[in-house]
Amino acid sequence: MADVSVKRQQDLEATNELSQPTKKVKSDCENDRAENGNDTNALSGFQSTAVLSDSAREKTIYVHGKLADQNAVVILEKTPIREDVLAEIFTASTLKLQMRNDIYSTYSLHAPPHLNEIKATVMCPATEKHVKKYQRKESFLVEETAQDYESITLPYIKKQSFSVQWVYNILDKKAESERILFEDPHPKLGFVLLPDFKWDQKQLADQNAVVILEKTPIREDVLAEIFTASTLKLQMRNDIYSTYSLHAPPHLNEIKATVMCPATEKHVKKYQRKESFLVEETAQDYESITLPYIKKQSFSVQWVYNILDKKAESERILFEDPHPKLGFVLLPDFKWDQKQLDDLYLMAITHQRDIKSLRDLTSQHLPLLENILQKGQEAILKHYSLPASKMRIYLHYQPSYYHLHVHFTKLDFEAPGCRVERAHLLADVIQNLRSDPNYYKTRNLYFPLRADDGLLSQFKEAGRL
Ligand code: M7G
């Protein structure tokens, strides 16, 4: 991880000092007592040899290694944040300020281990097939005819497939019998219903909040410490498979907290889970519906002016071109904690203050857009050794904040809002404006609006939806 030694925030504020000792979670598994006794760490002897794959978005990491001289695959997954422990997380955690700007601040939050579990799934001894299953590899779509199945697939799976011993253990009540929710014993029609081992049965739905808590991706550089310094509770064991809940020391298992205070009703709405609808906006709709609405209703961009005027986040600026027409500021988006490149997220904010969004762009702005693309890419290559071919560089339409800005995210990271209905690649925008100077002024644009968005009501009232 070459250059993530990005300037860390100096103004560390320790608040919320842990006032209580962490509670020990009671083991609910007899195997745990028998085999792991009192919270010993079944993974402390795990020697990792390779990271098979990881996902910054899913907060998972798949590791291959040796456990007591046997081949093992260990999966670590951060678990969703549960509503029932929120109050305790808020009172019993320590917080470090990362940045503050207008009503927005972000913190790294260290929660007591029992409130911030990692799920560990262990396969030991693991076969070569297990290792392959979790290795990141390109995929190809295959078309299988009935004839292919008989002549290719069936012979292959007969020779090669995973052992289903763990399935027979369930059916024969040799493992997981206490987890069975329902059984129909009929020999032909019967089945057994039980939780998949991917689910630890503790989570409720994700939460709506103006304080956003997000678990951070699992970093390769702290893996060894996670394996040695954590406590583990066995959840279930079957054949070569076992799952644990892993309690890591807080500094190895951070939560990112974003605070908006005082938040407007619009902020609350922005983060509430709501149905969305795709809207088609003509140039005429923009003039008669969208523009009047955003003039009255949109979010304040005070935080943007604070950045441009160096009143906030100035120490976070990665690159600046000060030119009043072509210039911009490039800095980390507050979604990114800069601790790993996997979820890299930066933002370029233009010095020009009168370009609201994609809709305002014409060929006049080509020099500005080309400048952002080229110098933004160069700065990211220089600071993070990340070439343009690994970046997704795009604008949102509609944005939340109507001051032109460009998103720079790592290609492998599925950042929120990077889907086709909202994201417009900067390179495409440039091409489109080269072919038609008024492309974005004249054509229909599509974007999703949430059910409770006032703009959606305006489109409905105008009979446009
Ligand atoms: P957008 O496309 O207007 O809206 O992008 P979105 O938030 O719905 O994606 C604005 C971008 O600015 C987002 O990626 C935000 O995470 C980021 N952002 C918002 N605020 C209030 C701040 C801030 O105060 N500082 C920084 N550095 N980034 C912010």
Q: What is the pLDDT of residue 40?
A: 63
Distance CA 120, CA 116 (A): 13
User: What phi-psi label fits residue 37: left (phi over 0), alpha (psi between -120 and 50 degrees) or beta?
Assistant: left
Q: What is the pLDDT of residue 210?
A: 65
Query: Which atom of ligand 1 is closest in space to residue 335's alpha carbon?
Result: 16
**CA 312 to ligand 1 center in whole angstroms:** 14
Distance CA 316, CA 7 (A): 7
Spatial CB neighbours of 334, under 8 Å, sequence gap ≥ 6: 99, 101, 104, 106, 258
CB atoms within 10 A of CB 378: 12
Let me know: does 281 contact 448? Beta carbons within 8 Å.
no
Whether 264 is in the pocket of ligand 1, judged by its Cβ within 6 Å, is no
Q: Would residue 186 show up in a list of annotated catalytic residues for this protein?
A: no
Of the residues 64, 403, 405, 424, only one is catalytic, namely 405
Among 212, 301, 313, 347, say which to mutate for ligand 1: greatest number of ligand atoms within 8 Å of CB. 347
pLDDT in tens, the chain (465 residues): 333 433 333 333 333 322 233 333 332 323 333 344 344 678 888 888 888 888 888 889 999 999 888 889 999 998 888 888 898 998 999 998 888 888 788 888 999 998 898 989 898 888 887 888 788 765 676 889 899 999 999 988 888 767 788 888 889 998 888 888 778 887 777 888 887 776 665 543 333 346 788 888 888 889 999 999 898 888 878 777 888 889 998 888 888 888 777 767 777 777 777 789 999 999 999 999 999 999 998 788 999 999 999 999 999 999 999 999 999 999 999 889 888 898 999 999 999 999 999 999 999 999 999 999 999 999 999 999 999 999 999 999 999 999 999 999 999 898 989 999 999 999 999 999 999 999 999 999 999 998 888 899 999 999 998
Among 97, 305, 333, say which to mutate for ligand 1: greatest number of ligand atoms within 8 Å of CB. 333
Distance CA 440, CA 194 (A): 53
Distance CA 213, CA 205 (A): 14
